[in-house]
Structure formats: C-alpha cells, structure tokens
Amino acid sequence: MPNSVSPHEAMLRVEARAAWRLAAPTALLMLLLLVLPTLAVLVLSFTDAELGIPEITFLGLDAYADLLTDRSFLGALRNTAVYVALVAPASILLGLGLAMLIEAEVGGRAFFRSVYFLPVVSLIVAMASVWQYLMHPTIGPINLVLGLLGIPAINWLGSSDNVLAALAVIGIWQALGFNMVLFLAGLTAIDRTLYAAAEMDGARSAWDRFRLVTWPMLGPTTLFVTTISVINAVKVFETVATLTQGGPAKASETLLWMIYKEGFVYLHVGAASAMAVVFIALLLFLLVLQTRVLDKQVHYG
Amino acid sequence: MTRILRLAVLSAGAVLVLFPFLFMLSTSLKPQSEVFSAGLSLIPSHWAIVENYGKAFTRIPMARILLNGVVVCASIVAFQIVFALPAAYALAKLRFRGRELYAAARITGLLNTLAVLVVPFTLSVFAIFLFRQFIKAIPDDLILAARSDGLSEAAIVWRIILPNAWPAASAFAIFSVVAHWNDLYWPLIAISKTQLATPPLGLLFFRAAEAGDDYGALMAATVVITMPLILFFLFAQRLFIEGMTMTGLKG
C-alpha cells in the first residue's frame, strides 16, 4: 500500500532523517567520549587496577569502603571542604558588594568593572607564581606591608596551618570579578519602579531597600553564582599544582590533585576511578540541591 | 558624601586587586639583588629589563609556547562549535526522536566533568544547551524561507543559524578559551616536551629550569605569558564581560 503514507507523514520523515544526519556525529562522539569513559571509570572504580600490572581483582563495594577509610583521601575531602568554605562565601559576598557599589556609581562604572574582572582573564598558573612571590616569608611584599603595621611575618604557603587560607586568598582574588559581573547582570535586570514602590511603602533606609527589593529579586542570580562558585572551588587544581603540590605534609592536598596523582603519577587507576566517582557524586549532589532550591524557594518579590 | 565613600571603597579594592599586577611588573624590571633588598619600592634603582625578559624568552621557547596555546584553544573551540551547532539546531527546530533522548541528557553535562578527567578532549554538552536555547528564539519563518530557497539543512546551519546565533557562539568561544587557556590538568599528564607545552605548562617548565629564586626573570615570564589574553580582554571588554555573563548564568 504505497499510498498509505500521507504527504504530512512523508514530510515528517524527511525532517527526522535530516535531523539525525545533523545530530548523529555529536551523538556518536557523546557515546565515545562521554558515555564509554564514564562506564569505564565506573567499572574500574570497583577494582584494584594498576597500569602495567596485568592482574586485576574485582573488589566490588570494598573498593569504596577502602576509600572511605583511607586517611589521605579523607584528608583531601576535608581540605577541599575547608577551601570551598573559605572561597565560596567570601567571593560571593564580595562580588555582590562590589556589584552594588559599581551599579550605583555612574562615572567610573566601566573602569572599575574592568579592573575587578582582570584576574578572571589572567593565566592562573602565572598569577599563582606572582602570589608566591607576594607571599614569600622574608622578601614578600605582603609580609613587608604587615611588618609596617607591626604584624609579625606569616609563613603563608610553607606552614600546614595556613596553606589552605593562603590558597583561598588567591582563589577569592581570582573568582571575585566573575561573581561581580554575574551580580551586575542580575542588578540591572531589576525593575527600577520596585524601589520607588518600596519607598512609598515606607522603606526609607538603604538597608530596607536592599532587604525588601534587591535581595529577593536577586534570588535566582545568587543561587547560580553560589553553585558556580562552589563547583569551581571544588575543582581547585592549578594553584595546588603550581605552588604546593599538596604540601606541606599533605595539608593542601585537594580532591582533584589527589585524583591526578593517584591516576597519572602512581598509576593506581582503580583507586583514582573510585575517587573520580566520589568527586562526581559530590557535584551531582550540589546540582540536585540547586534544582531543589530553585524549584521551592526562589520566588520573585 | 555617599559617593565619595563609595569611590574610596571601590578605589581601595581596586588597589588590592591590582596589587599582584603592580608587583609582577615592577619585579620583572628589577635585578635579583634588588628583589631581595629593595623592600616595597616599585621603581627599580637599577633596571634589569633586558636580562629578565631575555631569560623569559630564551630559557623556554616562549613564542612557540604562546603559539601552542593559541592553536590548542582555537582548535578546541572550532571542534566544539562544529559538533554542537548542527545538533543544537536539530534539537531546537526539527521534529525527531532525538528530542526525547535529549530530555534524558541533562546528566551528560555532568559526564562532561567526569570525562575531562579521563579523556584529553571531549565535546561540550554545555555548548549544545546554550546554542539550543538561543536557536529556539530564532523565528521559524527565517528557516522556512531558506528551505524554500532550496538550502539544505546543513547549509541552513552554517549560513542562516550561525550568523543569527553569533552572540551565543562568541560568548561560548570566550568562555571556552578562558577555560582552556588556563587548563593545566591535561597538559601536565600528556605533554613532556617543552616544545609542545601550552602556556600554563610552559611556565611550570620555566620554574623548573629556574631552580633558584630568580624572581625577576620569573615575573618577566609571567608578564609575557599573561599578556595575550589580557590584551585580548582590554580590546574586547564588552564581548568578554557579556560573554562570560551569558555563559555563567546559563551554566
């Protein structure tokens, strides 16, 4: 029954075929470069695979049990959490504060925006080297300035007590400008008449206007900025690789640095895969959290 | 009064943010003896420009390394756009079963993060999301007109969709370049020859070759290696800031 296909159906078929031709290369690459590597990592994560050693033992969930009792790994988790707890809130609050100041400023807006954005476009590894010099215990300008103020010299990167704080200073400096431009976009999108309305309702002080209009209207932006800041901080790698290599005494060993070292330096492919799975599970958890909050709590006005 | 206070805070913050750049430039001009003795003075009393920058260009093949960075970033961006744009167009404007698959594909964005840990390069799921969203807003009439002019679907992608999705494409390009210009993870794993190094790895090689505390030369190398992207930014500030905002908020 060759005539049973209506012209409309025939057209749809042509359209679908064209669509597949356009999407097929991408779909194939997705399979090869995303899905298969992920499956490989998942499978390897249950084994004790090491590169160069032919025998592989299947450990099953024991692989994860081992990981969760591994002190180095728990240390890396803790270090990453501390780093995120230092960098994310500071870079979000400072980004918001700067965006509000710049938004209110008429004359120098473009100038200040560019100045604060400069670290975002500066090579991290290079700027980390500059920070290393700035933080040098004896000749570093930071300690020299502190000395002028009568504050004793701090061994920024060399002491396990404050190496994470030192890395966090660099992380905040780097992330600040990015958060600022995101908040600026959010601020410019707020309807000006809302402020006039709030004022008529008795919101006299700047704090009242912030509390009643700016903060609730910025809700979605703040949530996005928070997620991006947390995820970027969890992924800290360049500064650790350049400045501390996880030291001193593993005090700055972070998750991604440890995955890199286990997988590509020690070639413990199985253990590194399990760590990568935990790393992704953590990011997944953060994304789910974001969607939950987005669905439930963020309402305009 | 409020304005003066605001400008004072903004200026003080600006000085703090620029502090590393000031010392990077100043130290790159100083001889080693002065780096260790001169304290906080920004202007050197003896200049060592030729010495420091000479080392920056000769200890490592600096020009070659910067070129490597440009080639790597440009290839990655081109690769990502060439694969993402046709797929995004099909998902946005054509009716096919792939759309149902796509609905389940939000998870692949996360696979992206995992995949870059284990394969050296991959396609950007984010680019597909971003382009699809943008292409949806392009009027259907434009595509229908092109189709009745006899353009194939592939020709529509490159001759109609690309020019109309240019803001999204350039925003993504900037986002991708900033990310890959900075990336150290894969170069550290895959590249051992200085000749093949990208800028971040090149700087690590320079640091390794420069075993001592020759901060003058190291700062000269950091000036040279950070300059290309900073200059690009200074000449195309709106493009950068709007691009990073768009990709940031959609990410």
pLDDT at residue A191 greater than cutoff 90: no
For residue A274, the tally of other CB atoms under 10 A from its CB is 28
Residue with tokens 């698959």: B101
Q: Decide if A121 and B178 are in contact by the 8 Å CB cutoff.
A: yes
**B172 near B194, Cβ under 8 Å?**
no
pTM of the model: 0.90
* Nearest CB to B204 within list A125, A144, A260: A125
Residue of B nearest to A137 (CA): B36
Residue-level pLDDT at B203: 93
Q: For A51-105, write each residue's pLDDT tens digit.
A: 888 888 888 888 899 889 999 999 999 999 999 999 999 999 999 999 999 998 8
Residues in chain B: 251
Residues in chain A: 301
Q: For B19-59, write each residue's pLDDT tens digit.
A: 999 999 999 999 888 888 767 888 888 888 899 999 999 98
Q: Which CATH superfamily is domain B61-250 in?
A: MetI-like (1.10.3720.10)
Q: For B63-107, write each residue's pLDDT tens digit.
A: 999 999 999 999 999 999 999 999 999 999 999 888 877 776 666
Residue-level pLDDT at A200: 85
Q: Of the spans A25-34, A266-275, B109-118, which averages the highest pLDDT?
A: A266-275
Q: Which residue has the higher pLDDT, A116 or B121?
A: A116
To probe the interface with B, which of A123, A143, A157 has the most B CB atoms within 10 Å?
A123
Q: What is the mean pLDDT of chain B?
A: 88
Give A34→chain B minimum CA distance, Å. Answer: 6
Rounding to the nearest 10 degrees, give the CA dihedral for residues B204, B205, B206, B211.
Answer: 90
Residue-level pLDDT at B2: 83
Residue-level pLDDT at B234: 92
Q: What is the mean pLDDT of residues A109-135?
A: 93
Q: Decide if A123 and B6 are in contact by the 8 Å CB cutoff.
A: no
Distance CA A219, CA A213 (A): 10
Q: CB pairs under 8 A, 24+ apart, for B189-194? A: B189/A260, B189/A264, B189/B120, B190/B120, B194/B60, B194/B61, B194/B65
Residue-level pLDDT at A31: 86
Q: For B139-185, write each residue's pLDDT tens digit.
A: 999 999 999 999 999 999 999 999 999 999 999 999 899 989 999 99
For CA atoms B182, B184, B186, B187, give the dihedral sign.
Answer: positive
Chain A residues closer than 8 Å to B35 by CB: 139
Q: Decide if B83 and A29 are in contact by the 8 Å CB cutoff.
A: yes
Residue-level pLDDT at B37: 79
Distance CA A158, CA A162 (A): 8
Chain A residues closer than 8 Å to B104 by CB: none
Q: Decide if A130 and B203 are in contact by the 8 Å CB cutoff.
A: no
Residue-level pLDDT at A108: 86
Q: What is the mean pLDDT of residues B123-128?
A: 86
Confidence of residue A33 (pLDDT cuts 50, 70, 90): confident
Residue-level pLDDT at A301: 36
Q: What is the mean pLDDT of residues A196-203?
A: 84
Q: Decide if A256 and B185 are in contact by the 8 Å CB cutoff.
A: yes
Residue of B nearest to A231 (CA): B113
Q: Decide if B10 and A29 are in contact by the 8 Å CB cutoff.
A: no
Q: What is the ipTM of this complex?
A: 0.89
pLDDT at residue B1 greater than cutoff 90: no
Domain residue extents for chain B: 1-47, 61-250
The percentage of residues in chain A with a pLDDT greater than 70, rounded to a whole number, is: 96
Q: Decide if B6 and A33 are in contact by the 8 Å CB cutoff.
A: no
Q: Which CATH superfamily is domain A62-296 in?
A: MetI-like (1.10.3720.10)
pLDDT at residue A125 greater than cutoff 80: yes
To probe the interface with B, which of A31, A129, A236, A260 has the most B CB atoms within 10 Å?
A129
Give A12→chain B minimum CA distance, Å. Answer: 7
* Nearest CB to A26 within list B84, B189, B244: B84
Give B178→chain A minimum CA distance, Å. Answer: 7
pLDDT at residue B10 greater than cutoff 90: yes
pLDDT at residue B108 greater than cutoff 60: yes
Give B94→chain A minimum CA distance, Å. Answer: 6
